[in-house]
Structure 1
Amino acid sequence: MRSTPGRLSAADRRDLTSAARIREAAILRFARDGFDASLRTIAADAGVSGALIVHHFGSKKDLRRACDEWVLGQIRDSKRTTLATGDSGPWLAQLGRAEQYAPLAVYVARTFQAGGESAAEFFDHLVDDVVDYLAEGERNGLIRPSRDNRARARLLTGMSVGSMLLQMTLHPELLRGGDFTGFFRHLTETVTAPALELYSEGLLTSRKLLDDYLMYVPDPPAAAGGGESAAPPS
């Protein structure tokens, strides 16, 4: 029986529920074991058959793509919640719900550990989103304008991803047994305060280095190591 447009049948609702359950199980399993995890293992985690995964997602590659899209959407929404108004309340509430975001952080780190085209595409999507919500922050007067919005977004994204990968490398014990919450809390306690200090107060006491560099870029001196040293301007 075909469902009425705009209204899902009970079977359709069950279908959507099972797809979401598979996606959730896949994100957790990929975060725990990396992307070599099998569809059979994911099916067992979700309490479904492998055939049902194929029915909903087609292949493991397509399932991973669906997981990527959902994780990116969750990150995007959480960032925009803070930058939309500048109210720290929602952001602090998110910190208090580390268990909700911890698997997503580990999933992101696993994506870059795996490398390849999927990691490059994921990074580009992250940067696109950072450009968008920083622009929103600029419109709201919360973020300073940049002379190169995308370059700034790439740097911020790389710093964030690099921090996660470094903590995973230095503290693998925090991920044993799938303890994503312990890892995420350690990560936030390690980087949040110094990052906010850097973003809020800056690092250098003057902009001299920036101004000198911007003057240097259009007309740099001859490269060192070519047998001749660049003479200072007279």
Structure 2
Amino acid sequence: MTDAIDTTSRGDETRLRLLTAAIEIFGRHGFDASTRALAREAGVNLAAIPYHFGGKEGLYLACADHIGEQISARIGPVAEEVRSRLWSAANDGPCRRPLEEGEARRLLAQILEAFARTMVAPESAGWARFIIREQMEPTEAFSRLYEGVMKRIIETARRLVGRILNENPDCEAVRLRTISLVGQILILRAGRAAVMRQMEWDEVGDREFALIRDMIADSVAALAPPPTGG
């Protein structure tokens, strides 16, 4: 029994080492990276790739799934709380509690802050390189990333933006406003070198993140319907 547990544990460790190494290698060199380089970076036998993932393509797709899982684990609790509140506001029944604009703004800031904290975390660097490559030349891995985590974050934020603007969350104007807000967070990682140089920061610690939080609060507070012509 102990031997079986040890074997499973070693297998899980090897799988994780391959995923961690592959995210880094694929992020830097794309799918053309050799399986030999992937195995060498992970410090495992070359045969471990087909054994655990069926081949390089399986490993590549597993990297996308793993990134999605890691981002979801960090944002998931906040996003789930927000989605639960949105559901209760939309559900007809005696316990229905309408979502007020002020609460919608607070929840939007909350989910954007959780996303920002994930983007500035050191471990997100490798994820970002992988995701940016997929943004430029989408494959099935992008579909997995989008459906697995990105879509849920954006659509949750979009429903809040729609409530704040008192607009249909499915309309193009609300979609664009939401993408603009999410883009302000993505630039913290996708444009990290420029951000750090412009801000003259060496790291993103508590003080720096407090400024990012203020930026998010200002952006959410500035959300308003476009002025109507008189």
- TM-score bracket, normalised by the shorter chain, equals 0.5 to 0.7
In 1, the alpha carbon distance for the partners of 2:171 and 2:61 equals 24
Number of aligned residue pairs: 188
Which residue of the other structure, out of 142, 148, 153, is the alignment partner of 1:119? 142
Distance in 1 (CA, whole Å) between partners of 2:45 and 2:63 is 18
Q: Distance in 2 between matches of 1:208 and 1:189?
A: 31
Seen in structure 2, the aligned counterparts of structure 1 residues 112 and 94 have a Cα distance that, compared at 3 Å, is same
Q: Which ranges in structure 1 are unaligned for 5 or more consecutive residues?
A: 175-181, 213-234
Q: 2:13 aligns with which of 10, 17, 30?
A: 17
Find the counterpart in structure 2 of residue 41 from structure 1.
37
Give 1:94 deviation, angstroms.
3.9
Structure with the greater relative contact order (CA < 8 A, sep ≥ 6): 1 or 2?
2
Q: Equivalent residue for 1:167?
A: 191
Asked if 1:105 corresponds to 2:159, the answer is no
Residues 45 and 191 of structure 1: is their aligned pair in 2 closer, same or farther, counting only changes over 3 Å?
same
Q: 2:50 aligns with which of 50, 54, 69?
A: 54
Question: Residues 22 and 46 of structure 1 are in contact (CA less than 8 Å); yes or no, is this contact kept in structure 2?
Answer: yes
Structure 2 unaligned spans of 5+: 83-106
The answer as to whether partners of 1:82 and 1:91 remain within 8 angstroms in 2 is: yes
Q: Is the 8 A contact 2:68 2:149 kept in 1?
A: yes
Confirm or deny: 8 A CA contact 2:128 2:190 kept in the other structure. Answer: no
User: What letter is aligned with 2:127?
Assistant: L
RMSD of aligned Cα (Å): 4.6
The residue aligned with 1:29 is 25
Distance of 2:212 and 2:7 partners within structure 1: 46
**Partners of 1:93 and 1:128 in 2: CA distance:** 16
Query: How many angstroms does 1:25 deviate by?
Result: 0.6
- 1:25–1:46: 8 Å Cα contact kept in structure 2? yes
The answer for the alignment partner of 2:67 in structure 1 is 71
Q: Highest CA radius of gyration, 1 or 2?
A: 1
Q: Tell me the CA shift for residue 75 of structure 1.
A: 1.5
- Identity over aligned residues, as a percent? 19
Superposition TM-score, scaled by structure 1 size: 0.58
Query: What is the TM-score normalised by the length of structure 2?
Result: 0.59
Q: Which amino acid in 2 is paired with 1:197?
A: D
